[in-house]
């Protein structure tokens, strides 16, 4: 996935992605079995509540299709031309949100959704299209899909599980 920064004079008629240098944009890479970063990308609003918009990168194929979403924090100044999420300083440069079950493909869709809970901090949406209905439901509803809204907050931990962060997420099956 690539992030290209806008420019007051525009970018002209064509922009070569090999020209990203950290000042005009950056490339985002990762590693691991199933790395498919860039399947879904989006602007997460100011999820980290630091005054800068953040970038969402969905990686639905990792960890046996459990899926992950990275929130790359916005900031002033330049980035490195290559942001490697496998070595990012989680909690400082980015956070990783880990899906729930193998095959759910969390991160197949991502979006900033504004301030859903009214706390003044932007929130994000994560789609897991192959999630199955959880405990308490009649059996026989595999792959009905799950959608999560994670509430933004000021202090974020380095890795957040969509199943264990009850204070910062809510789930609705579709």
Residue 62: inside a domain:
yes
Query: Can you list the positions of beta strands (E) in 5-158?
Result: 25-29, 40-43, 55-59, 68-72, 82-84, 94-98, 109-114, 123-128, 146-150
What confidence score (pLDDT) does residue 139 get? 59
Residue 80 lies in a domain: no
In a domain, 78, yes or no: no
Mean pLDDT over each residue of the chain, to the nearest integer: 83
Asked whether 94 and 66 are in contact (CB, 8 A), the reply is: no
Give the mean model confidence (pLDDT) for residues 44-62: 93
Task: Quote the number of domains for the chain.
Answer: 1
For 5-43, how does the pLDDT look when each residue is reduced to its tens digit (9 = 90+)? Answer: 888 887 778 889 999 999 999 999 987 767 887 889 999
| Residue 143 included in any domain | yes
- Residue 174 pLDDT more than 60? no
Q: Print the domain residue range for 46.
A: 34-72+90-173
Task: Give the whole-number percent of the chain exceeding pLDDT 70.
Answer: 82
For the stretch 123-144, pLDDT in tens is 999 999 998 876 655 555 677 8
Query: Tell me, what DSSP letter sits at residue 90?
Result: B
Report if residue 2 sits inside a domain. Answer: no
Q: What percent of the chain has a predicted confidence (pLDDT) above 90?
A: 51
Given this model, what pLDDT does residue 17 score?
A: 93
pTM: 0.81
DSSP 3-state assignment of 143? Answer: coil
Tokens representing 132 are 């199955």
In a domain, 19, yes or no: no
Does residue 140 form part of some domain? Answer: yes
Residue 14 forms part of a structural domain: no
């Amino acid at each position: 996935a690539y992030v290209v920064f806008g420019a007051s004079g525009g970018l002209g008629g064509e922009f070569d992605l090999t020209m990203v240098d950290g000042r005009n944009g950056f490339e985002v890479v990762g590693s691991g079995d199933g790395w498919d970063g860039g399947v879904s990308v989006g602007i997460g609003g100011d999820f980290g509540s630091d005054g800068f918009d953040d970038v969402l990168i969905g990686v639905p194929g990792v960890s046996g299709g459990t899926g992950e979403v990275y929130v790359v924090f916005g900031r002033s100044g330049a980035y490195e031309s290559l942001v490697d999420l496998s070595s990012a300083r989680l909690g400082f440069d980015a956070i990783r949100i880990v899906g729930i079950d193998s095959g759910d493909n969390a991160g197949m869709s991502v979006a900033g959704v504004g301030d859903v809970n009214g706390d003044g901090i932007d929130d994000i949406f994560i789609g897991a299209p192959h999630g199955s209905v959880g405990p308490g439901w009649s059996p026989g509803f595999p792959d009905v899909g799950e959608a999560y809204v994670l509430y933004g907050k000021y202090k974020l931990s380095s890795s957040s599980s969509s199943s264990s962060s009850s204070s910062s997420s809510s789930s609705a099956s579709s």
